[in-house]
Amino acid sequence: MNTPLNTPSNAEFQARLGALAVAPAAFSPTRPFYWSIRRELWEYRSIYIAPLAAAAVFLIGFAISTVHLPQKMRDLASLDPERQQQLVRQPYIFAALLIMGATFVVAFFYCLDTLHAERRDRNILFWKSLPVSDVTTVLSKAAFPLVIIPLLTFAISFVTLWTMALLSALVLAGGGVSSELLWSRLALGHMSLTLFYHLVAIHGLWYAPFYCWLLLVSAWAKRMAFLWAVIPVLTLNALEHVAFNTSHFAHVLSDRMMDARGASVVSPSHMSMGPLDVMPLGQLLSAPGLWIGLIASAIFLALAVRLRRYREPI
């Protein structure tokens, strides 16, 4: 008598089990990439600790320097507007450059170590046993210097700059000095937009060949990855100079460290300009160097995927 009553419930139970079995498969394309990103954050905590430490150290020094801020603002009132803007923005630009420098160093050594460390520590066999492809692994690692680290740098810099501005306003209010000059000359909104564009467009896209080359070297080198990253560059430059008495390769590399107009992308004077004055978006997208660099980056990543697929532990 119980069998007919249980049959529908059993069928429903089996249907639910089938739905649960199918559900993970629907999310499988994105979940391995997501957990690969999480894995990198767990293993390389310096990605966010280093810029946070740089920001904290600078904020401490800046807080101490605000003791003389009211008198400095009174002295600024007698200067011309351009000089006022330069002096007001100076510590903010320096703070942004300090954080950017810290994250650039972190991104450099992260790219140079991440694929090499898997083979050096011999845990690559464990990671290869998981249902995560070599393409997903390499792309998740490339996402850090190209996307995640620039966005993280912007977030930390944004909070740092606004903290400095609010602290300055409080100190000026306590000293009986108006903060109107501070806010008008600082233009923190424009500076934030400049910083965002600078990090995402320049550090993320323009520097992509450097980062992808380091990932390729990390996947290939058995030891001394830093030397293997530098020696081929120096060798090509020396061969060109000896054979043709030219230095075109060196000029290409130096131009890559500049924006499309030939201006340094880390120049404080450019950081103080409008949000798109560093390198206009249209000029960036139309620059042949951008697309040549992205093609080179894709080739480097494809080679890194292939090397990871067939490389053995060190």
| Residue 204 per-residue DSSP state | I
The CA distances from residue 59 to 91, 165, 279, 285, in Å, are: 10, 11, 29, 36
Strand partners, 264: 258
Q: Which two tokens stand for residue 120?
A: 């050096």
Rg (C-alpha) for the chain, rounded Å, is 26
Compute the distance between CA of residue 61 and CA of residue 268 in angstroms, rounded to an integer.
20
Q: Check residue 16 and give its pLDDT.
A: 52
- Digit-by-digit pLDDT tens for the chain (314 residues) are 444 444 445 555 455 545 444 444 444 567 888 888 888 888 899 899 999 999 999 999 999 988 888 888 888 878 888 888 888 888 999 999 999 999 999 999 999 999 888 888 777 777 777 778 889 889 999 999 999 999 999 999 999 999 999 999 999 888 888 888 888 888 888 888 888 988 888 888 889 999 999 999 999 988 888 899 988 888 988 898 888 888 888 887 877 776 544 344 434 344 333 333 456 777 777 878 888 889 999 999 999 999 988 777 77
> DSSP readout, 118-187?
HHHTT-HHHHHHSS--HHHHHHHHHHIIIIIHHHHHHHHHHHHHHHHHHHHHHHHHHTT--SHHHHHHH-
Listed residue (195, 191, 233, 199) closest to 213, CA to CA: 233
How many whole angstroms separate alpha carbon 210 and alpha carbon 61? 33
Task: Look at the chain and count its residues.
Answer: 314
pTM of the model: 0.79
**Angstrom distance (rounded) from CA 166 to CA 204:** 30
Q: What is the pLDDT of residue 27?
A: 47
DSSP at 221: -
- 220, 205, 206: which is closest to 305 by C-alpha? 220
